[in-house]
Amino acid sequence: MAKKILVKKQSGEPKKNALAQGARAAVSSDNSYEAKDIYVLKGLEPVRRRPGMYIGSTGTDGLHHLIWEIVDNSLDEAQNGYAKIIEVQLLPQNRVSVCDDGRGIPVDPHPQTKKSALETAACTLHAGGKFGGTSYKIAGGLHGVGLSVVNALSKWMRIDVYKRDGKWAGAWMQEYARGKPKAHVKKLGATDKQGTFIVFEPDPVIFSEIKFDIKHILDHLREQAYLVRGITIRFVDARDETKEPMRYTFYFEGGIVSYLKYLTEDETPVHKNLFFMAKDVSDMHIEVALRYIDDVQSLEVSFANNIKTGEGGMHLTGFRSAITRVLNDAAKEYNIFKNGNEFSTLTGDDVREGLVAIVHVKLHEPQFEGQTKAKLGNPEARSVVENAMNAGFKEFLERNPDDAKAILEKVALAAKARIAAKTAKDFVLRKSVLEGSSLPGKLSDCQTRKAEDAEIFIVEGQSAGGSAKEGRDRRFQAILPLRGKPLNVEKSRLDKILANEEIRSLIVALGTAIAQDFNLAKLRYHKIIIMADADVDGMHIRTLLLTLFFRYFQDMITQGYLYLAQPPLFRIQKGKEIRYVYSDKEEEKEKAIQEVLKLVKAEPQKQKVEIPEATDEIGETETGSEDISLYKGASVQRYKGLGEMNPAQLWETTMNPDTRVVKQVTIDDAVEADRLFNVLMGDDVLPRKKFIQSYATEVKQVDI
């Protein structure tokens, strides 16, 4: 059984959606293949058959994508100068409303469909004001399919349009059920409002679980408010009619400059003035903000037409090329290469160490790779951004010589560390070692050489490591015990990381190498399971290891290879009947006790297998840590550490794939994750203190 943290894995499409999109060919039983065998899906039926093609998935991400599509339409109105306020509400019955004060969707008859333009936009794929003409210079959304896709995937939807002026002035309304209009567009009467109001209810036939994540929504809306300077975005959670609604408002006059200050508010800046550039070139609007901070990590966030391009693209490539070139030119002017340094050029990694940057381009015809738009593909974006940055950043350095010197000192130090790290890698991680022919002695490897079948447990402590080695299934399970707490890589450069014996053993065991030499294809295990105690020290060790994986092995996380073991907290026993409890909730413990007592009383003849006591074969259990007490006729043992379990118990509770509970580590918001790792694991104490003070009340109990 697998539980997941940070974000739920996207669920697959339901079987009922397994038919092909648009048209599908079928071969009849008599082997004929004629025109009658071609099936054409009409209207919005392709969306309902293959929702994942339009919103990415039918899981949590796809559910929230419905909100983003409607909000994107309102943002298009805002960034083209027609709207100032957007309000999003969560309502009872799993309904969501989005309202703006823009121009309002047209309601007059469409020249092609002969139906109202409102019905055409809501019920026809690829119908919208973003394909041509001058209605929108800049647009996000799904190029006009967003509204119709939301309609198709909603059990019910209603659109109200308010127009104050012109021939079609008045309030208009139309309702829909699963993508089909329930009636014609209806005029409700005169109005003094202006804008569009949309409310929809996601279809439970499409989405197996309809549960909105408040934090996810707030983070997205806050980000959008940064990107559209001067827009006011309101959010209201009114789902519980018995309580006063929760209300939030976002407004940032500074745009991405405000965003940059937010991302670096808990960091120590390297230079005084932050860099900002806004420029219009060849029908493209470019905005870049950057600042160097006293850190070894970098953070580059890119957008195209308000859409986050998590995988970057041409605009980010152009930005990186420009900043590398400009700083190399500046280094020559300041004689950086002639000051006894061992390097003669700055690499892209050198100039990005400690860099926090936001790159946002707005263009008329964006070309995104993939339906969910993770990467911008417009070739012209690279050259336009690169040329603009070459001129803009060069001018900034010339105008601010003190900032230029501080930045160059920072990147020169990164270059020196790179040389030192290369020397360390050449010495420590020889090619033969990286290819797996000389594995660390402390590793108990598995027999299989198929990475997809293999799993490795990274175990806290020698005692627990010994039990894990004895209790494992050596055919596919490897054990790597760690001694003491791992190095905090958030505070260390690569040369120091490679000098740490425990991390070095882990890198060699995984087989992928690290940094520039990293190669995910060489990963030796497709399940990497961190197994630590459930106490404060164990949590700290997990956090240190998560920091290492996030900073240097992030691809292992995004590919779904990293897990956290969840050992039991309690052992309930009566006679020979035993139950393990993985939660500290009192009701869970009570349920397990009742199950044990019921089995002992009702079916004593079925008690066959005796599981050894927790102290058997351990020898290193702390005095008094077992805390065994009688409760309603059953003994209750509180486990404080993995070392309190013998090999058989550790296998049954934590390592057996048929009975264990593991949590899969995933990344929902890489930007927020980056910020939190900086706060929790960085050098600056004050932000960490503020974080602890803010969340201390949410911690019910801490075992020390």
Catalytic residues: 460, 533, 535, 537
What is d(CA 39, CA 18) in angstroms, rounded to the nearest whole number? Answer: 14
Quote the strand ranges of 397-465, DSSP E: 455-460
**Residues 454, 526 contacting (CB under 8 angstroms):** yes
Question: Element (H or E) spanning 76, and its range?
Answer: helix 60-79
Residues 6 or more apart whose Cβ sits within 8 Å of residue 552: 489, 497, 514, 515, 518
For residue 442, CA distances in Å to 439, 458, 476 come to 9, 11, 17
Question: What DSSP line would sit under 600-658, residue for residue?
Answer: HHH-GGG--PPPPPTTTTT--PPTT-S--EEETTEEEEE---GGGS-HHHHIIIII-TT
Residues 6 or more apart whose Cβ sits within 8 Å of residue 30: none
604 — alpha (psi -120 to 50), left (phi > 0) or beta? alpha
Structure tokens at 436: 């797996």
Cα–Cα nearest to 141, from 65, 196, 213, 56: 65
Cα–Cα nearest to 655, from 525, 464, 486, 509: 464
For residue 233, CA distances in Å to 63, 125, 192, 376 come to 20, 28, 21, 26
**Residues 63, 210 contacting (CB under 8 angstroms):** yes
Strand partners, 313: 376
From first CA to last CA, the distance across the chain in angstroms is 29
Compute how many other C-beta atoms are within 10 angstroms of the C-beta atom of residue 251.
Answer: 13
**Residues 230, 648 contacting (CB under 8 angstroms):** no
Sign of the C-alpha dihedral computed for residues 487, 492, 494 and 500 taken in this order: negative
Amino acid making up residue 233 = I
